[in-house]
C-alpha cells in the first residue's frame, strides 16, 4: 500500500460562487447556473472527442474544506449522520464529484451548466457521463430518500467551514 498519493490538478473550475456559503449543494440544486472549466494547455489533447457528450463527471479537490469529522449534520437533514453516508465536503480525502451539463467546448475551455462548485476549485479529472454505465436501475437513496424534496434551492450555509 502506498504511503503517499500525489494528485496534480489538470485545470480549474470557474463559477459564480466565490465561497462555499451560498453555493448549491448538488448540481440538481443549480439549475441554469453557468460555469467553465479551464483545462491546462498540456492536457488539451485529452479533450479530443468529448463534443458528443451531453454531461461530464468532474472530479475535483475541495481546496477550502477544513478537517473532517466522522459524524456530520448534512445539509438536507436535522440529525448527525455517518460521514460516508453523506456528500459533505469535509472528508479525510476531500475529493468531490459533480455531473454537469456540457454546453460547448472552445479550445481548452469547457462551458458547463448546473455547476455546484466554488470558483477556483482545482480539477483532478473529467469523465464523460454515459447513461448506460452510470445510471443504475433500482438504486435507493438511504436516509436521503425522505429529504430529496428539500434539494431544490438548497445552498451551503457554511457549516463545514469551521
Q: 30, 52 in Cβ contact below 8 A?
A: no
User: Is position 156 within any domain?
Assistant: no
Q: In whole angstroms, what is the distance from residue 116 CA to residue 26 CA?
A: 6
DSSP E strand boundaries for the chain: 11-14, 34-39, 55-61, 71-72, 81-82, 95-106, 109-113, 121-128
Quick check: 138 pLDDT over 80?
yes
CATH number for the domain spanning 70: value is: 2.40.30.70
For residue 29, is it within any domain?
yes
Pairing of β 34-39 and β 95-106? unpaired
Predicted pLDDT at 147? 66
Q: What is the mean pLDDT of residues 71-97?
A: 90
Provide the number of structural domains found in the chain: 1
pLDDT digits (tens, 9 = 90+) for 95-123: 999 999 999 999 999 999 999 999 999 99
pLDDT of residue 46: 98
Q: Which residues pair with 72 in a beta bridge?
A: 81
Give the CA distances from residue 67 to residues 35, 94, 105, 141, 162, in Å, rounded to whole numbers and listed in that order. Answer: 27, 9, 35, 26, 8
Domain extent at residue 105: 11-149
Q: Is 162 within a domain?
A: no
Amino acid at each position: 500500500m502506498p504511503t503517499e498519493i500525489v494528485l496534480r490538478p489538470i485545470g480549474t473550475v470557474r463559477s459564480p460562487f466565490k465561497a462555499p456559503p451560498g453555493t448549491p449543494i448538488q448540481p440538481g440544486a443549480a439549475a441554469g447556473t453557468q460555469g467553465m472549466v479551464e483545462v491546462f494547455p498540456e492536457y488539451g489533447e485529452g479533450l479530443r472527442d468529448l463534443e458528443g457528450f451531453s454531461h461530464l463527471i468532474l472530479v475535483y479537490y475541495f481546496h477550502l474544506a477544513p478537517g473532517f469529522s466522522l459524524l456530520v449534520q448534512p445539509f438536507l437533514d436535522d440529525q448527525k449522520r455517518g460521514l460516508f453516508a453523506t456528500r459533505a465536503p469535509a472528508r479525510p480525502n476531500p475529493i468531490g464529484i459533480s455531473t454537469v451539463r456540457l454546453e460547448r467546448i472552445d479550445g481548452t475551455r469547457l462551458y458547463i451548466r448546473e455547476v455546484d462548485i466554488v470558483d477556483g476549485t482545482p480539477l483532478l479529472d473529467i469523465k464523460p457521463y454515459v447513461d448506460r454505465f452510470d445510471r443504475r436501475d433500482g438504486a435507493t437513496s438511504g436516509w436521503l430518500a425522505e429529504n430529496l424534496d428539500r434539494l431544490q434551492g438548497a445552498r451551503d450555509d457554511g457549516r463545514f467551514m469551521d
